[in-house]
Structure 1
Amino acid sequence: MVNAPNSCAGAVSNSLRQRVGGMGEVWLGERSDGEFEQQVAIKQVAYPTPGLVQRFRQERQILARLAHPNIARLIDGGVDADGAPYLVMEYVEGVPITAYVRDHALDLRARLQLFLRVCGAVQYAHQNLIVHRDLKPSNILVATDGTPKLLDFGIAKVLATTDVAAPTQTAARLLTPDYAAPEQFNGGAITTATDVYALGVVLYELLTETRPPRTAPFDASAAVTSNEPTPPSAAVDHPTGVVPRRALRGDLDRITLTALAADVQRRYATAEALGADLQRYLDGRPIAARRDSAWYRLRKFAKRNRYALGDAVTVVAVSVAAAFISLQQAQLAREQAARAEQQAARGQVVRKFLVGVFEQARPDENQGQPITAQQLLQIGEAQLAAAVGNAPAIRADLTGLIGSLYWDIGDYARAEPLLKAAVAQSAEPLVTDEIRARNLLGLAAVESEKQAFAAAYGHAQQALVLARRAGRAGLSEISDAERVSANILFLRGDSKLAEPLLRQLLAADRLNLATAPALVADDLQLLGSVLGELARYDESESAFREAIQIDSRSHGDRHSKISSNYNELGQMLLHKGDLAGAEAALRIALDGVRQLYGPESQPAWTVQSNLFRVLEMQGRFAEVLPQRLRMLEQEKRCRAIPGRKRLPSTAICLGSTIASSASWIRRSRLFARHWRSGPGFKAPAPRPTAPTRSSTSALRWHCRVTTRRQRPRCAQRWPFSGSMNCRRRNG
């Protein structure tokens, strides 16, 4: 028995022990720091072994990342006088969710609405790359005001990191058998779908007031991996109870059994997907969960009973299996015919759609003015609803396509709402898994551009599950999802995690180099960026050079991918210190993007800015300064174009150039003139960049100049407004 944690923290004192868990004890305490008082829960390791202490520290790190109204928040933590770690957490005065719905006699709708809030909390954890691994009613308390709170992340796992408990046997014991997913017993991969299984058990309890029956409770691991659960409607004791049996038949049976599928590929990929299907049920709309095919059930039956089948039964089973195979082949032929019919219908809709777009692009319609790609997309967006009619799968496909094309030309403001709409439309039952995966990947790309890396990674992983479920039809999306996931890890600074994923993907794509060289080139380009970030410059350059060779063979010397590779190569060589090599690579990239997109395009300005950095590193300020001034004037003329919000960034870079050439007063004036000229500007880095910090120095110089000129109010106003703008625009 451990002692009460009297010495946990100066502002916290304990009173009563609340419960004992697998990792420690939880005490009720009082927190008082002289300003306010509150009850808190104090969690302390019962027996501080190195493994438990490490897990305790991981739990603290996990809780520090989570801030959600349905997750108990971390208040404090540390080590007591005896060296034992402790956590001070929000105290939840409540009861397990199953007891709450029973004691309050909640009807079916109220139970599902309460459960949806739990799904939201779990999805939030997943978007922060955290899998709980121990979801159960005792870890989901409902407070007196009806608010559910998710507790106890003691055995949670951070996705894309290694678990702190190395041995598999140790990890296997860290679970609750009645709620654990099959992969937790058999050593399979732990993913967001692992929590979905536990949510399925909790949902089963909320609907039936009993857990899914297992035939061998003494051997839970065998039971959970070999038996299909009884449908909830068949487990209800009273046909006319609080949740009547007839209300569970059909959709709720299918939703619950999908969440409880032993095969992770047949399970909901995320808590969000489970919650979305329940919301469709509540709204009276068709659900996405599908029934198992007869052939699938037959195979599962044979697997479960392979030792019990005698010779005679085996003969019958073989005959039945042959009949089922014939039926399956007939069904496959019907599905292929239906797919061909669907493709033909899609072709007709797309033809009608394209005809409508190009009719609007005729000279008679636009007074003979040249039409841009962006204008074509805007016309297509306006024509979409009329073209697709009542065809949800085609609508989801084309909406996502237009959103992705907006992304390709750099119009992120228009891309994001379209891709979000495409993901929502993909929930319709007729939409295929490969279309769902494709739309999720498009949304993940936009989210990563906005630095919403948790959401982007979650959507990329969800797309990966859907693409794998699609089989051969989703092979392209599988590769894309793995590449997007690796890119997100790289962008958020986890290059060490991204490298092995890319190496594995590259090895698989090299097998198809002859038929799909573009995939290998894409892998090599991203690998080059990752290796450059890890300061392995020679390997990085080799990857970029090979990508350029492959793209040149496939596309010729003038292609956007080649320019992109040279741009990335130039930036890597700049970090390496090879200024001559960086300049040569960036000049090739600049020539390419100017020929492809025009001299005043967004890609041209991006590459030109990178080239200016190299020239400044060589001390060639006199050469850079007039070109930056021209760029500033060009961008001022293009400010009305959607997506062009680089003006303040260009002004800052120009100021940095002038600062480096010692023209501080001129720089401060430019800064003062252009700092406010781009509403909505946000620097790409979470902390102020070097040019921004240099611009703040210019701001202080401007303040001194205005003070000398007897303008004290201006001098007072500028530092305040400038510092606020720096905070707002740099996060």
Structure 2
Amino acid sequence: MKVDWGAVVRAIVAGDASGRGDPSPDLASLADTDPAGAMALSAHLAVTGDLTGFMSTRAPEADPDPGEGPGGPPPERVGAWKLAERIGSGGMGQVWLVRRDDGVYDQIAAMKLVASPAAMVMDRFRDERQRLARLDHPNIARIIDGGEDTAGRPFMVVEFVEGAPIADWCAGRGCDPRTRVRLLVDLCDALAHAHARLVLHLDIKSANVLVNSDGQLRLIDFGIAALIPEAAMADTHRQGRALTLVTAAPEQLEGEAVSVATDIFQVGMLAHLLLIGRLPERQADGSVVIAAQALGNPDLAAIIARATAFDPANRYASVDALGEDLLNWLETRPVMARGGGSLYRARVFLKKHWLASAASAVALAALVGGLGVSLLQTQQAINARNRALAEEERSDTIRESLYFLLAETGEGEDGAATASGVSQAAEVIGARFRKAPAQFAAVLQALGELQFYLSDDVGALATFDLLLGQAAVIDPEILAQARYNAAQAHMRQGAADKAEALLGQAQAFWKADPGRWAIRLRDSRLLEAQVMRAEDPEGAVALLRRTLADHVREYGRDNQRAGVFANNIGTALVSLGRLDEAEAAFLEADRVWQATGLTGSFDALNTLNNVASVQYLQNKHEAAVASFARAVALRDQLFGPSAATAALLSNYGKALLGVDKAGAALEPLARAEAMSLEFAGPASALHVAVLNGHAEALAKAGRAGAVEKLGRARQHLTAMGDPPPLLASWQLASGKVALAETRPDEARSALREAVLLAQSSGPAGERIRAEAQGLLDAM
């Protein structure tokens, strides 16, 4: 008997008196009209009961039952964390507000502590921990720690998100539609990050999308998420996964395979809620009806309708494509969801340029007469742009098909799509490609691209070589992309000649239809500039400047891609030693992030790092300290503790040393030492570098402990095989410490060793050699 999903959803909504998604539906009444629906809902409630309150990692309004909860009383402390307040519980266990209590640095977080001994519960919990560990994005709540307590109960510490559900946040502030759509774009960006790491969320709803007082969005609770290869084959009901029925995609309701399109459906449902104030009406087959008239905007209605299409194949091919269409609406460009002919595009053009179009009623005839040429030019530009975007969307569809095929080959022990696992997939798909090259070329090309992004250049090049060996029989479009990706891999391997040849072949194909391939041609200039940099660095900078100018003419200056190009121009200028110009380019990128409201993005953080570094190289130490301080604050806000945060803190501490503020440098360097040990490990270049810097700061501040830190660094270097550049850096730090502690003979000996080791390291040791020699000359 078929379930009437419309009736089930209406029963849930009617039973949710609080409006908070915790329903007590009238199963008896539902059973009278839809027995199958009552059975499905009863089974659903049985699955979700144990999860209630256990998936939340956000601030509670109140804990209705502050007792000891399931599993008995918890310990007062778990690892480095002191339990402060219980903020949720369910049959699976408890969620506690915790504070880091190891004396290294302060941090508040949320700890999920499992109480149930059931194997399914333990497996589900470990799955969630593994999924979260692979995600690192400013709009996704992060995992911080994990392990088992003294009683053997697994725990996970995640970011504690203080914010309101997105629908409540928007309603409470009376946000206009543009603000709501901007938040949806941020959500799409976060999901794109997860999808790129083969993770689906599968429970996107207002309660799982929080916004803090600064307007920053956080996606939380990947508790029922799935890996994409696994999801392609899984039956969600038989797996016992919980889901939110009122926002679930039709394929989830029927227990069919889920995919990227499932998350896209749920984003569409959330968009409907944010822009209209209610979810769309659910039909018996699980499809939904959009309230287009209530929305009052045909473009937004088309976007939501496409995102929530019944058939996953009719939705956007990727969450990036959905985010791009929402940006189209924000920037008054034609949306892909509508398609539309010249009249639709003309209306969009006039809407965007309404002031010029209405400037003078007297000149109306002249305006209309001249508009034909203007609109023709605009239509041509829009057509070219939409063709380019369509090609990118088609590529996303191919990538998704690859993720499904990966289900046949298995994964790493932690569930990750490891390089070795992808190599196994390459063997499977490569065998199919040899039998039917035309049929499997697109998938094999996407697989090689995935190997490249996993930094498996050797594997990627083997895959691309297989493709290029069948150049005569595969689609030229696929061949061009394979050549470009192979060029990137060769460049990263230092084979610039091979990279140049392959890049030229790819660009030759794209130049034959520059309108269709505009995005790829423009993006390929970044690699072209890298190839040019060795023999013609000035030409490389000029190429990047021309490319940026072309982009600005078409898209304007204040957008993300313009900021990325400005940042890359700065990087190229640094390699030329043109530090003043590099700083100007980085500052232009910083201006773009401010103009576009992206100051809290990873791109903005990257630019701040670059600004600070180039200022430090220019001996603008005070400016560098200020820039590093901004970067540290943003990094803490976006990501919290990590190896990258440790590296940034280390640079900040060393900048403070450069302005003779050794006392102020101690705190960031102590934080960096603890983080580098935790996230990079003891025998790592990062941890050794931090220990060196911390030792120098202690000595210059007149504190004890510098020699002990140098001793530990030396032990780690021995374990690493004494790499000459790192050993030279350690000798330089030893010399500085000896100088600060007035041990001139030891200082002179260490600095001489640093010079010799640096000279043997080639260009990589030049900065160390120069600094050590300068100190020797000054003695």
- TM-score bracket, normalised by the shorter chain, equals 0.3 to 0.5
